[in-house]
Amino acid sequence: MNSRRLEGSVSVNKVDFAIIGGTGAFIGARTGEKLNNREKVEISTKYGKVILEIIEVGGTRVALLKRHGLNHSIPPHRINYRANIMALKMLGVKRILATAAVGSLNREFKPGDLVLLSDFIDFTWGRDITFFDEPGQEVIHVDMTNPYCLFLRSKLIDAAQDTGISLVSKGATYVCTQGPRFETPAEILIYKHLGADLVGMTSVPEVVLAREAEICYATAAIVTNYAAGISDNPLTHQEVLERMTMSSAKIYTLFSKAIKITDNNKLCSCQTAVSGQESLGG
């Protein structure tokens, strides 16, 4: 194995896919198809412990990871993103399907829409954003031209067509803010001028760490509200949770179909994002 790849494994049968979401995103996993062989797993990584569930979807083993913790007790800026992605890497996961609640800065994206992310702008600070920052470690610069995996995005589009689920797939730029507070109208205006369509608090550094771990990663975001200054009403956390709950069954159906139609043996450039740099001279 290339020395610059992240290494490590656990004594659990191989898991090819993972679904990452907030607490509300997993209601669909309970109300959808019958789930057999549910398995709760605790994984110890060098960054901390991670608790997740493993289920089967059409014969494929899938890890379910709640990024905010089992009881939605971890705010976005305190999520242990490195431990989460490392745990999935140790399980052998090749592809991650993620969802997240977002506010809309663009009237074309309405509350209730499922939107496929295509790019991001990072306004977070103080988060652990890379695996490659230990003293004496070789400097690694990972390409983020297409931060959300093109292959996996295409499978979500196919899954939406097959299931009849409406998925806005023309491309959307997500701006990631620090949280846990909502943004001010002035901030939203700035982000809008920079080209952002949606705003949330969790995609970064999750998407970056997935690329460093050479795992394909795509996000179908749930628009829960219009952002501050665009919405006619004050924003509340309760409306976010309610909208996530309403959309969770659709998300689970969409992700389940995408998993079933994806050939997990198909190679993708995401899976050589670090090791492939050798051929370019590092």
What is the structure's pLDDT at 2? 34
In a domain, 282, yes or no: no
In a domain, 2, yes or no: no
What is the structure's pLDDT at 44? 96
In a domain, 215, yes or no: yes
Rounded to the nearest 10 degrees, the angle between the axes of helix 81-91 and helix 203-212 is 40
Q: Are 252 and 28 in contact (CB under 8 A)?
A: yes
- Cα distance between residue 264 and residue 247, in whole Å: 26
- Cα distance between residue 69 and residue 51, in whole Å: 8
Q: Which two tokens stand for residue 105?
A: 């800065």
The conformation of residue 249, written as its DSSP 8-state character, comes to H
Name the nearest CA neighbour of 254 among 162, 135, 154.
Answer: 162
- Cα distance between residue 68 and residue 201, in whole Å: 11
Q: What is the mean pLDDT of residues 262-278?
A: 85
Instruction: Look over the chain and give the mean of its residue pLDDT values, rounded to a whole number.
Output: 87
Phi, psi of 40 (to 5 degrees): -90, 130
> Is the pLDDT assigned to residue 122 strictly greater than 70?
yes
Q: What is the CATH number of the domain that holds 58?
A: 3.40.50.1580
> Is the pLDDT assigned to residue 1 strictly greater than 50?
no
Name the nearest CA neighbour of 117 among 83, 167, 81.
Answer: 167
User: Residue 263 contacts by C-beta under 8 Å, 6 or more apart in sequence?
Assistant: none
pLDDT tens figures, 33-72 = 445 568 899 999 999 999 999 998 888 899 999 998 888 7
In a domain, 6, yes or no: no
pLDDT tens figures, 221-238 = 999 889 988 877 776 667
pLDDT tens figures, 176-219 = 999 999 999 999 999 999 999 999 999 999 999 999 999 999 99
Q: To the nearest 5 percent, what fractions of the chain are helix, strand and coil?
A: 30, 25, 45
Helix segments in 110-236, DSSP class H: 150-163, 185-193, 203-212
> Is the pLDDT assigned to residue 165 strictly greater than 60?
yes
Instruction: Point out the least confidently predicted range of 40-49, 152-161, 234-243, 260-269.
Output: 234-243
Q: How many domains does the chain have?
A: 1
> Is the pLDDT assigned to residue 282 strictly greater than 60?
no
What is the structure's pLDDT at 6? 55
Determine which helix (DSSP H) or strand (DSSP E) holds 66, and give its type and residue range: strand 60-66
CA angle 47, 49, 54 (to 5 degrees): 125
In a domain, 9, yes or no: no
% of the chain exceeding 70 in pLDDT: 85
Q: Are 254 and 114 in contact (CB under 8 A)?
A: yes
In a domain, 11, yes or no: no
Q: 191: how many CB neighbours lie within 10 A of its CB? A: 22
In a domain, 43, yes or no: yes
Instruction: Point out the least confidently predicted range of 149-158, 221-230, 240-249.
Output: 240-249
What is the structure's pLDDT at 4? 47
What is the structure's pLDDT at 58? 84
Q: Structural domain of residue 153, as residue ranges? A: 17-277
Q: Which two tokens stand for residue 21?
A: 């979401």
- Cα distance between residue 191 and residue 174, in whole Å: 9
* Residue 276 CA from chain centroid, whole number: 23
What is the structure's pLDDT at 169? 92
Rounded to the nearest 10 degrees, the angle between the axes of helix 150-163 and helix 237-261 is 90
The conformation of residue 37, written as its DSSP 8-state character, comes to S
Among left, alpha and beta (phi > 0; psi -120 to 50; other), residue 149 is beta
In a domain, 12, yes or no: no
Stated pTM of the model: 0.89
Q: What is the mean pLDDT of residues 248-255?
A: 89
